[in-house]
Every structure is written in C-alpha cells, then in structure tokens.
C-alpha cells in the first residue's frame, strides 16, 4: 500500500478569492498584523499498487484529470510506501 500526498494551489498571479475572504475576515477581527493569506488543498490517498512507479503514474494522472485544474492551479505530490 502506498500513501500519496497531493498539494494543490493557485498558480502565481491567479487571484484566490477564498484566501482574500479569509484575509478580510482576519482583519475584521482586528488582527492587523496579518499581511498575507494563502490557501491550499491537500489530499491524502491510499493506493493499492504493485510498485511505487505505478502509484506515482496513477497519482499523476489523477492530479491532472481530477484534483487540479492545470489552467489555474499547480500541484505537487509525494508517494511513500507504508
């Protein structure tokens, strides 16, 4: 069994309205020390693959097809054997 950890975030230069909303909310609570907020999604998948190479290939495909929108998002992932 392999564990894949995927991080998905907006590409540099793409505005993230959710992170902006969090930043506004933080400031409205009085925390003016907060100068920037970024938000990412993290996915943790358990893969029952025959070897690490297969797990990596499948995870790469899943990222491209489903977890990230390559037009506006970047992703990184790691795969570890359990």
Interface residue list for its own copies (CB under 8 A): 1, 7, 19, 22, 25-26, 29, 31, 33-49, 54-55, 58, 61-62, 65-67
Say which residues have a Cβ less than 8 Å from residue 62's Cβ, sequence separation at least 6: 45
Hey, how many other C-beta atoms are within 10 angstroms of the C-beta on 79?
A: 21
Smallest distance, Å, CB 41 to its own copies?
7
Smallest distance, Å, CB 36 to its own copies?
4
Q: Closer to its own copies by CB, 51 or 72: give it.
A: 51
Smallest distance, Å, CB 19 to its own copies?
8
CA angle (14 as vertex; 8, 18 as ends), nearest 5:
70
């Amino acid at each position: 069994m392999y564990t894949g950890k995927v991080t998905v975030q907006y590409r540099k230069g793409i505005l993230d309205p959710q992170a902006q909303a969090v930043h506004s909310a933080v400031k409205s609570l009085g925390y003016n020390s907060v100068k920037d907020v970024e938000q990412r999604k993290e996915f943790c998948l358990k893969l029952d693959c025959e070897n690490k190479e297969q797990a990596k290939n499948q995870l790469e495909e899943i990222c491209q097809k489903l977890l990230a929108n390559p037009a506006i998002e970047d992703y990184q992932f790691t795969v570890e054997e359990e």
